[in-house]
Structure 1
Amino acid sequence: MNHPIITAEAPILLVGGGEFRHADLTLAQTWAGRAVAADSGALVLLRHGVTPEAVIGDFDSLPAETRAALSPDTLHHIAEQDSTDFDKCLRNIEAPLILGLGFLGARVDHQLSVFNRLAARADRPCILIGREDVVFHAPPRLALDLAAGTRVSLFPLRPVTGQSTGLRWPIHGIDFTPGGRVGTSNEALADEVTLEMDGPGMLVILPRDCLDAAVRAVLAAGSAPSTVRA
């Protein structure tokens, strides 16, 4: 059995090679005090004045000068090409939550690949932070403290059903599927929105200013008694 590269009892910040605002980094650091880079994310972190405690990836996009500027002990080269650097990081970080910066807003194919891994690695809770949105995979049960009128979008990556409270359009009885019914542009009616999904595969997309609510909800879901998903 392989041991994770990073183990933590608090949220971990994971940075990819995409650009982001320094304000987003500052916001993420209010929850995650330790930073890990996915390949060229190390260069982005250094530009923001942060030295990653670990760099994980195949290093095909990590500049030689950046690699030379880092301690060899922080470099974790995984040469196989059957998985993305994001996936390599997810499976090698064991933490109650990963906050991902630099994975949204650039190439669409990269974003789709990242979304795919969110669903495939549902056992590794991760919230992606973008300029406009935060995106994460729905745990079996989720309770979000949101202001009335907040946009709540649900997008399935596989067939999935569920139940909700506090949404303008309840999801009970809906068969969600990537090529069929999706749940974008729903809306919170009350202070609390609850979701209960019958299996993995549903992404939750909220406005960026809901990051704190999303972090609290995902952490609480992770500390709840475990359940068997369909």
Structure 2
Amino acid sequence: MNSELAQKNTVVYDFTPILLVGGGPLRADDRDLITGFSSKIIAADGGAGHVIAAGRLPDAVIGDLDSLSDEARASVPADRLYHVKEQDSTDFEKSLSRIESPLVLGVGFTGGRLDHELAALHGLLTFPEKRCILLGAEDILFLAPPESHMTLSAGSRFSLMPLCPVRAESTGLHWPLNGNLFAPGALIGTSNKVAGDQEEQRVSVNCDAPGMLVILPRLALKAAMAALTEKPGLHAQWPAPER
């Protein structure tokens, strides 16, 4: 996507992380996040209902709006509704592609229908230039950038799942990645763990292509946010593919 097209599609812009809320199941921590979030909150179509139930109004509602309830439609000002008619992408993709922010936190996209959850993973791969963390009931996940550095608790779980062939290297993991080629149906990296006998360990992962999911316990959210927004990492970002 060229810069002119990206600018044309952008409907939400901020210098701070943005919360994107989908229509899937939420846990209590997700509702608390909506209630206390200090920056912009965007709803992907029916996710507006979750935001309103938490006592907030979304700054924007993006999607084909076929899941938006009459009550939510009446509550949200008309100039905050962005109706995207095309049906070749999901509401998650419609929303993610129209947000410009250092980081997007997504809730309500995992834990419900499996096809919806898989579609969200497809959306991360479709827009590798976007920094996005999806929060699940127990885990968080994000598409690994070209390089990432995190300080994590020694012994904590560190899983890697390739969505396509990706060669990866690591430091700080119990089982190093060693530049191996990971691919679906061939080699995956689930249930690895952070190495070390100290309380915390620095973990680095380098990938040669977009397509590797990093899956961590939800307690690692702050560390993942720091890793994806640290200034050196912002210069090592996947380019937007031609669309």
The TM-score bracket by the shorter chain reads over 0.9
**Residue 218 of structure 1 aligns with which residue?**
228
Mark the CA change 1:224 to 1:39 in structure 2 (over 3 Å): closer, same or farther: closer
Give the conservation status (yes or no) of the 8 Å contact 1:22–1:48. Answer: no
Question: Partner amino acid for 1:135?
Answer: L
Q: Residue 19 in 1 paired to residue 25 in 2?
A: yes
Instruction: Name which of 4, 7, 11 aligns with 2:10.
Output: 4
**Residue 213 of structure 2 aligns with which residue?**
203
Mark the CA change 1:7 to 1:60 in structure 2 (over 3 Å): closer, same or farther: same
Report deviation, 1:21: 2.4
Q: Residue 34 in 1 paired to residue 40 in 2?
A: yes
Mark the CA change 1:173 to 1:222 in structure 2 (over 3 Å): closer, same or farther: closer
Alpha-carbon deviations, 1:172-214, whole Å to 9, x = none? 1321001211000000014111000011100000001111111
Give aligned-pair identity as a percent: 45
CA distance in 2, matches of 1:169, 1:214: 20
Task: Describe the SS at the equivalent of 1:40.
Answer: helix
Instruction: Name which of 63, 73, 86 aligns with 1:67.
Output: 73
Task: Describe the SS at the equivalent of 1:196.
Answer: strand
Give the conservation status (yes or no) of the 8 Å contact 2:170–2:205. Answer: yes
User: Where does structure 1 lack aligned partners over 5 or more consecutive residues?
Assistant: none
Mark the CA change 1:122 to 1:207 in structure 2 (over 3 Å): closer, same or farther: same
- Between stretches 59-68 and 155-164, larger displacement belongs to 59-68
**Residue 50 of structure 1 aligns with which residue?**
56
Report deviation, 1:92: 0.2
CA distance in 2, matches of 1:92, 1:173: 34
User: Where does structure 2 lack aligned partners over 5 or more consecutive residues?
Assistant: none
Task: Calculate the TM-score normalised by the size of structure 2.
Answer: 0.89
CA distance in 1, matches of 2:78, 2:188: 46
Q: Residue 192 in 1 paired to residue 240 in 2?
A: no
CA distance in 1, matches of 2:66, 2:13: 25
Alpha-carbon deviations, 1:10-53, whole Å to 9, x = none? 00000000121232343477675210000000011111112101
**Residue 139 of structure 1 aligns with which residue?**
145
Report deviation, 1:222: 6.7
**Residue 99 of structure 2 aligns with which residue?**
93
Task: Describe the SS at the equivalent of 2:134.
Answer: strand
Give the conservation status (yes or no) of the 8 Å contact 2:141–2:213. Answer: yes
CA distance in 1, matches of 2:110, 2:214: 14
- Between stretches 19-28 and 2-11, larger displacement belongs to 19-28
**Residue 82 of structure 2 aligns with which residue?**
76
- Between stretches 69-78 and 23-32, larger displacement belongs to 23-32
Question: Partner amino acid for 1:116?
Answer: H
Mark the CA change 1:28 to 1:127 in structure 2 (over 3 Å): closer, same or farther: farther
Aligned pairs, number: 229
**Residue 158 of structure 1 aligns with which residue?**
164
CA distance in 2, matches of 1:59, 1:227: 31
CA distance in 1, matches of 2:143, 2:116: 17
Task: Describe the SS at the equivalent of 2:213.
Answer: strand
Mark the CA change 1:82 to 1:52 in structure 2 (over 3 Å): closer, same or farther: same
